[in-house]
Structure formats: structure tokens, C-alpha cells
């Protein structure tokens, strides 16, 4: 889910357009895989507001995951 899709879902309270979409035209909607659907549902439940500490923790986790991916990509070059 892109940032803009997440913002739209959180602002409108409706993630169904994202979950129902099939951007690859593969007959598999983005909401079909259980893990994706559950992650989006959790995002919607938790909502938009985070404390400063919660936001910083989220960013830290994202940076850590990005670093792992970056190292994996660099090793495969």
C-alpha cells in the first residue's frame, strides 16, 4: 500500500478500494492474501494518531527493515 493509499484509507475510514484492487490484472485482489488483509485491518483499527514516541519507534523499525533489505540487495549484486 502506498502512502497515499494509506492516507486515503485512514482519512475516509475505508480501505476496501485498495483491498478490492487488482493492479496486475491477475484476478487476485490485493486483499485476497490473508496476511495483507489482516495488516490493512490492523492499520485501520489502530487509526491515524500516534504518540511522538510511537511514531519514532515505527520509523526506527522501518529503517531497520530497509537496512536488512538493502544489505540483501547489495550482496546479490
Q: Where are the domains of the chain?
A: 1-46, 49-77
- pLDDT at residue 68 greater than cutoff 90: yes
- C-alpha–C-alpha distance, residues 72 and 74, integer Å: 6
DSSP of 7-75? HHHHHHT--HHHHH--TT-SS--TT-SHHHHHHHHHHHHH-S---HHHHHHHHHHHHHHHHHHHHHHHH
Tell me the whole-structure pTM to 2 decimals. 0.58
Q: 48 pLDDT exceeds 80?
A: no
- Count of beta carbons in the 10 Å neighbourhood of residue 31: 19
Closest CA to 54 of 44, 46, 42: 46
Across the range 16-30, mean pLDDT stands at: 95
Amino acid at each position: 500500500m502506498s502512502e497515499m493509499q494509506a492516507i486515503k484509507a485512514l482519512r475516509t475510514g475505508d480501505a476496501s478500494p485498495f483491498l478490492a484492487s487488482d493492479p496486475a490484472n491477475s484476478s487476485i485482489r490485493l486483499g485476497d492474501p490473508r496476511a495483507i488483509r489482516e495488516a490493512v485491518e490492523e492499520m485501520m483499527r489502530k487509526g491515524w494518531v500516534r504518540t511522538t514516541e510511537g511514531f519514532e519507534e515505527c520509523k526506527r523499525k522501518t529503517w531497520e527493515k530497509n537496512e536488512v533489505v538493502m544489505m540483501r540487495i547489495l550482496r546479490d549484486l
